[in-house]
Amino acid sequence: GDSVTQMEGPVTLSEEAFLTINCTYTATGYPSLFWYVQYPGEGLQLLLKATKADDKGSNKGFEATYRKETTSFHLEKGSVQVSDSAVYFCALMEYGNKLVFGAGTILRVKS
Amino acid sequence: DAGVTQSPTHLIKTRGQHVTLRCSPISGHKSVSWYQQVLGQGPQFIFQYYEKEERGRGNFPDRFSARQFPNYSSELNVNALLLGDSALYLCASSLRGAENSPLHFGNGTRLTVT
């Protein structure tokens, strides 16, 4: 079945450092890919998405490019802030409306 | 506009009991999905409903059931609770039940089974 693998955390960075969180997927077709963010005590918020190969999703300084050849959708940000501390989930949606999530990566940003 | 609302926010139950969780979708949204998020893991799909009909079911035992009402709100029921059912239960709504219809999540119900 479909699956998503994320790099394990926690990832600890200093403010203004460069962020990469790796995500790879396995799917039979051509899924849409998503990054969601979860702040403490809250639900999931959609951060960005890409619906086809080579699409780049971007939002709030975060970006991710849909790479079909490497089945990857790595999340990047050039300069992280303390307020970016959260759990980040990579997910795919292939058929219907069902999301398949990775295990999540905790990001901690120190000032 | 109000987002997806879930109630209650927290719940403590004893093994063997049953529980009902409630979800109100964003106004105009006709599809509701339920996910279980165990601590330290990603959410797992439980059910999807669209126009009051079940459209998908994840790999969960029959102790889990759900329904959607004419006003598109939804209930998730879990019978014969086990310790392993302790989790954050997330509800998400979308305009349609179709692929690429973005999901909007509520803040969840934290269920603790003792």
Written in H, E and C, the secondary structure of chain A is: CCEEEECCCCEEEECCCCEEECEEEECCCCCEEEEEEECCCCCEEEEEEECCCCCEEEECCEEEECECCCCECCEEECCCCHHHCEEEEEEEECCCCCEEECCCEEEEEEC
Give me the count of residues in chain B: 114
Q: Does A52 touch chain B (CB under 8 A)?
A: no
Whether the ω angle into residue B61 lies within 30 degrees of 0, i.e. cis, is no
pLDDT for A28 equals 87
Q: Is the pLDDT of residue A30 over 90?
A: no
Q: Which amino acid is at A87?
A: V
Calculate mean pLDDT across residues A29-42: 91
Calpha distance B39→B26 (Å, rounded):
26
Inter-chain residue contact B56 with A96, CB threshold 8 Å:
yes
Judging contacts by C-beta atoms under 8 Å, the chain B residues touching residue A97 are 31, 33, 48, 50, 55-56, 94, 96-99, 101, 103
A102 touches A35 (CB < 8 A): no
pLDDT for A110 equals 97
Mean model confidence pLDDT for chain A: 94
Q: Does B27 touch chain A (CB under 8 A)?
A: no
Neighbours of A69 (CB within 10 A): 7
Q: Does B97 touch chain A (CB under 8 A)?
A: yes
What's the sign of the alpha-carbon dihedral A43, A108, A72, A102?
Answer: negative
Test mutation, A39, A97, A99, A106, chain B, max B CBs within 10 A:
A97
Which residues does A35 contact at the CB level (< 8 Å), separation at least 6?
A: A23, A46, A47, A48, A49, A57, A62, A64, A73, A75, A88, A89, A90, A91
Percent of chain A with pLDDT over 70: 100
* pLDDT one-digit tens code per residue, B28-41: 999 999 999 999 89
Calculate mean pLDDT across residues B5-32: 96
Q: Is the pLDDT of residue A23 over 80?
A: yes
B59 touches B50 (CB < 8 A): no
First to last CA, chain B: 37
| Region at A65 (left for phi over 0; alpha for psi -120 to 50; beta for the rest) | beta
Whether the ω angle into residue A10 lies within 30 degrees of 0, i.e. cis, is yes
Q: Does A39 touch chain B (CB under 8 A)?
A: no
pLDDT for B97 equals 66
- Report residue B81 as tokens: 């609770």
Identify the three-state secondary structure at position B85: helix
* pLDDT one-digit tens code per residue, B53-100: 999 999 999 999 999 999 999 999 999 999 999 999 999 999 876 666
pLDDT for B102 equals 82
**Any bridge partners for residue A91, and if so which?**
A34, A101
